[in-house]
Amino acid sequence: MVFMCWLLVSTIVHAEGDANLGQEIFLEDCERCHYNDDFATQDAATTAEQLRALKAGDEDHRPDLAGLSLQEIADLAAFFAGE
């Protein structure tokens, strides 16, 4: 039961985005084209919104970001915002 609660809590916290995981994705998939401070002037919510639009294909972006999960988007947004 204690373990279940821990799982629940960590899932909720995690849903807000983990900047460390975001950095890993950034280094692997984004760094060849973007600087880590490319989106530092905007808050995480704005970056996440842009990424959801890119994922949905509303805006052109190469590479195609359709494969990003919503969790990965939250992680990336937290990373770019320097959280």
Q: Under the rule (CB under 6 A), what is the footprint of ligand HEC?
A: 25, 29-30, 32-34, 39, 47, 50-51, 54, 59, 61-63, 65, 76
Read off the tokens for 57: 């294909």
Task: Tell me how far apart the alpha carbons of residues 70 and 15 are, in angstroms, rounded to a whole number.
Answer: 9
Task: Tell me how far apart the alpha carbons of residues 22 and 39 are, in angstroms, rounded to a whole number.
Answer: 13
Other C-beta atoms closer than 10 Å to the C-beta of 81 total 20
Cβ closer to ligand HEC: 6 or 35? 35
Cβ closer to ligand HEC: 8 or 63? 63
Least spacing, CB of residue 59 vs ligand HEC, in Å: 5
